[in-house]
A and B are shown apart, each in its own frame.
Chain A
């Protein structure tokens, strides 16, 4: 059973960089056809996709955040990470990491496993 766990500071000061790591257990981050994604959810609001990375290092980001986002992968640690720069109070949210299945041969694309989420508050 694949499990994902987010970790990182719960409090970040405005204008600083938010840094989170997602540790994958129960399977290799390099195996199979998956994208590894970050999604966030402000309190009481809906979900916003931040970006994704393939184990090759190829990335795609939401244009609304692209100038501030970097997602990277460390296959030796079975982890992938998120950095969001120049944060403001609007970046306060629960941040989720999730696995996205790519099964092109059968036309299946979907998020199957999610981490529990970690609350990041931007405040001085």
Chain B
């Protein structure tokens, strides 16, 4: 299985300041078709996960542009340019390049 490792596990952030989450995979996430199926999910307290970013850097419909994704191969990053109160929650990276699909352990973003 591909292991997804996120750092940090907790990120206290001041409102209006940036936040960054790293995700590293144990194997390259480049699929045989040349694409990299790495997504980012947000899970607000008491809510199901919600898609933010797919294929490394593509924002899903309705996702604010303060969220951005980058990376390649085995190293990926989610950035929030200016954290707002509604961004509090746990963020997961996930890969769909190889079975079984796997998730990172989650990074909790909270306000200082």
Residues of A within 8 A of B (CB): 46-49, 60-64, 96, 100, 104, 107-112, 114-117
A47 with B54: CB separation less than 8 A: no
Give which listed residue, A61, A107, A108, A114, contacts B49 with CB less than 8 A: A114
How many A-B residue pairs have C-beta atoms within 8 angstroms? Tell me.
60
- Tell me if B103 is interfacial: C-beta within 8 Å of chain A: yes
Docked Cα-Cα span, A60 to B101, in Å, equals 10
A116 with B49: CB separation less than 8 A: no
Query: If A47-B92, A47-B94, A110-B51 touch, does A60 touch B105 (CB 8 Å cutoff)?
Result: no
A-B contact pairs, 15 of them (CB 8 A): A47-B103, A47-B106, A48-B103, A60-B100, A62-B100, A63-B100, A107-B55, A108-B54, A109-B54, A109-B55, A110-B96, A111-B94, A112-B51, A112-B60, A115-B48
Residues of B within 8 A of A (CB): 1, 33-35, 37, 39, 41, 47-51, 54-55, 58, 60, 92, 94, 96, 99-106
B35 with A107: CB separation less than 8 A: yes
Q: Which of B55, B60, B96, B103 has the most CB of A within 10 A?
A: B96
Give which listed residue, A48, A49, A96, contacts B48 with CB less than 8 A: A96
Docked Cα-Cα span, A64 to B41, in Å, equals 23
| Chain B contacts for A104, CB-based, 8 A | 33
B60 with A117: CB separation less than 8 A: no
The 5 closest A-B pairs by CB, nearest first: A107-B35, A110-B54, A114-B48, A62-B100, A47-B103
Residue of A with least CB distance to B99:
A60
Query: If A112-B60, A114-B49 touch, does A46 touch B35 (CB 8 Å cutoff)?
Result: no
A107 with B104: CB separation less than 8 A: no
Closest Cβ of chain B to A29, distance in Å, is: 19
B34 with A111: CB separation less than 8 A: no
